[in-house]
C-alpha cells in the first residue's frame, strides 16, 4: 500500500525554484530516504508532504488523502532545527507534546525505548547532541503516528551516537511505522533505507534501492589477490562472470559481474591456487551519486 504519493511537486521561494517537478511514492512499512546535498530541496519537499508548506503546484497524498488534524494525528515530524527551550525538562517536553493528541503514546515507555529513561528530569539544554536527537524522535512518535518524517537526524552526532540512532530508527520501522528519512549521509542511506529518492537541485534524479542505484551506474566488481602459485589467466578469463584479468607485479585483479568472488575462488581452488590477501571492491552509493549528479555529496 502506498502511504505517500507525491506527484509533480513544485515549490518556489521568490525567484528560486527549489522543488522542481518532484514525484515519488512511499510504501507502507519501508524506510524511504530523501538523499541529496545541502540546498537540494529535501526539507522543502518533506515540509510539503507534512502539510507545513503549500506546494505551488503538484499533489501530495498521505494515507489516501488525509489533511488537517487527521493528517497531524497520523504523521510524526522531526524537523532539522526543532530545538527546545534549554530549561524544559525531558518529561515536560514529552508531556506537553502528548497533550496535543487525543490518544498519545505512553511517554514513559517511549522514554525507555529511546534510551532516555535516566534523563527524565534533565533539562533539554543539558542533554548531549545524541540525546537531544533521541528526544526529538520520541516527540515525533508521541502521537503513535503511522508515518514518521525524520530530517537530518544524525547531523552533528559522533559515530557511536549515529549508530545508536540508526538502531532506533530500525526499531521504529519494526513497530510498523513507515519512515521518511532526509539525509545527506551516504552511509546512513545505504545502511537504513529500503529505497531512496536522490534529489539534486530540486529534481529527482533517481528512485531505487541503494543496491539498485549502485548497479544502475556500475555493476562491475573487482577481486584482487596474490596467488600462492603460478597459473594460466585462462583459468579465470574463461569464467562467464569474468570480464578481465590483469596482473600488476605479484597481484592479480579480476573484474566482472554476478557472483564474481565465488566463481573466482572456486576456479582457483580447482587449479590448486590459494588467493592470499583477497579483497573485493564494488561501486558504492557515493560512486552512484557522483555518476547520477556529476557531483560529490558534501557530508
Ligand atoms: N523559507 C525560505 N525562504 C527562502 N528560501 C528558502 C527557504 N527555505 C529554504 N530556502 C532555500 O531553498 C533551497 C532548498 O532548501 P531546503 O532546506 O529545502 O534544502 P535541503 O536539501 O533540505 O538542504 P539542507 O540539507 O541544507 O537543509 C535552499 O537554497 C534554501 O536556501
> Which own/partner contact pairs does 263-272 have at CB distance under 8 Å and 24+ positions apart?
263/239, 264/223, 264/236, 264/239, 267/235, 267/236, 267/239, 268/227, 268/231, 268/235, 268/236, 270/235, 271/231, 271/235, 272/229
Task: Specify if 295 maps to a domain.
Answer: no
> Do 204 and 260 belong to one domain?
no
- What's the gap in Å between 10 CA and the centre of ligand 1? 13
Same domain, 236 and 146: no
Contacts of 234 (CB under 8 A, 6+ apart): none
Determine the distance separating the centroid of ligand 1 and the alpha carbon of 86, expressed in angstroms. Answer: 26
In this structure, are 204 and 263 located in the same domain?
no
57-62 vs 2-13, strand pairing mode: antiparallel
CA of 199 to the centre of ligand 1 (A): 13
In ligand 1, the atom with minimum distance to the C-alpha of 40 is: 21
Give the residue among 88, 72, 62 at the shortest CA–CA distance from 144. 72
Residues 148 and 180 in one domain: yes
Answer yes or no: is 297 within a domain: no
Residue 103 sits at φ, ψ, to 5 deg, of -130, 75
End-to-end Cα spacing for the chain = 33
Q: Are 210 and 196 in contact (CB under 8 A)?
A: yes
CATH number of the domain enclosing 247: 3.30.70.100
What is the C-alpha separation between 36 and 201, in angstroms, rounded? Answer: 9
Instruction: Tell me, rounded to whole angstroms, the distance of Cα 207 from its chain centroid.
Output: 12
- The answer to whether residues 148 and 21 belong to one domain is yes
CA atoms within 13 A on the CB side of 156: 11
Instruction: Identify whether residues 240 and 124 lie together within a single domain.
Output: no
Check if the interface score ipTM surpasses 0.95: no
Domain that holds residue 36: 2-215
CATH for 56? 3.40.50.300
Using CB distances shorter than 6 Å, the residues near ligand 1 are 13, 18, 36, 38-44, 80, 152, 184
Give nearest CA residue, ligand 1 atom 6.
13
Instruction: Single out the residue of 185, 184, 175 nearest to residue 138, CA to CA.
Output: 175
260 and 223 in contact (C-beta within 8 Å)?
yes
Instruction: Check whether residue 181 and residue 276 sit in a common domain.
Output: no
What kind and span of H or E run contains 16?
Answer: strand 16-27
- Count of domains forming the chain: 2
Same domain, 24 and 113: yes
Residue 249 lies in a domain: yes
**Residue pLDDT tens, the chain, 299 long:** 899 999 999 999 998 999 999 999 999 999 999 999 888 999 999 999 998 899 999 999 999 888 888 888 899 988 776 678 899 999 999 999 998 888 888 888 889 888 888 999 999 999 988 888 889 888 988 988 999 999 988 877 788 888 888 998 998 899 899 999 999 888 999 999 999 999 999 999 999 999 899 888 877 889 999 999 999 999 999 999 999 999 998 999 999 988 899 999 999 999 999 999 999 988 888 888 888 888 877 65
Q: Which of 157, 181, 215 is the last residue of a domain?
A: 215
**22 and 76 fall within a common domain:** yes
Amino acid at each position: 500500500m502506498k502511504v505517500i504519493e507525491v506527484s509533480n511537486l513544485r515549490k518556489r521561494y521568490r525567484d528560486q525554484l527549489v522543488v522542481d517537478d518532484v514525484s515519488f511514492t512511499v510504501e507502507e512499512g519501508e524506510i524511504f530516504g530523501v538523499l541529496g546535498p545541502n540546498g537540494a530541496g529535501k526539507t522543502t519537499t518533506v515540509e510539503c508532504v507534512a502539510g507545513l508548506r503549500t506546494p505551488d503546484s503538484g499533489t501530495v497524498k498521505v494515507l489516501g488523502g488525509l489533511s488537517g488534524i487527521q493528517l497531524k494525528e497520523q504523521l510524526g515530524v522531526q524537523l532539522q532545527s526543532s530545538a527546545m527551550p534549554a530549561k524544559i525538562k525531558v518529561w515536560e517536553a514529552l508531556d506537553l507534546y502528548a497533550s496535543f493528541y487525543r490518544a498519545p503514546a505512553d511517554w514513559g515507555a517511549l522514554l525507555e525505548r529511546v534510551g532516555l529513561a535516566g534523563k527524565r528530569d534533565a533539562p533539554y539544554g543539558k542533554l548531549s547532541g545524541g540525546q537531544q536527537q533521541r528526544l526529538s524522535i520520541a516527540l515525533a512518535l508521541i502521537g503513535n503516528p503511522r508515518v514518521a518524517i525524520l530530517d537530518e537526524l544524525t547531523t552533528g552526532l559522533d559515530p557511536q551516537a549515529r549508530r545508536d540512532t540508526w538502531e532506533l530508527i530500525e526499531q521504529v520501522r519494526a513497530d510498523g511505522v513507515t519512515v521518511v528519512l532526509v539525509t545527506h549521509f551516504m552511509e546512513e542511506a545505504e545502511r537504513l533505507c529500503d529505497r531512496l529518492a536522490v534529489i539534486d537541485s530540486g529534481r529527482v534524479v533517481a528512485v531505487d534501492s541503494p543496491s539498485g542505484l549502485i548497479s544502475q551506474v556500475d555493476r562491475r566488481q573487482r577481486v584482487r589477490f596474490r596467488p600462492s602459485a603460478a597459473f594460466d589467466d585462462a583459468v579465470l578469463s574463461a569464467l562467464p562472470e569474468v570480464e578481465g584479468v590483469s596482473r600488476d607485479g605479484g597481484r592479480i585483479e579480476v573484474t566482472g559481474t554476478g557472483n564474481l568472488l565465488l566463481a573466482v575462488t572456486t576456479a582457483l581452488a580447482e587449479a590448486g591456487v590459494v588467493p592470499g590477501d583477497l579483497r573485493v571492491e564494488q561501486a558504492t552509493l557515493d560512486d552512484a551519486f557522483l555518476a547520477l549528479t556529476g557531483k560529490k555529496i558534501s557530508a
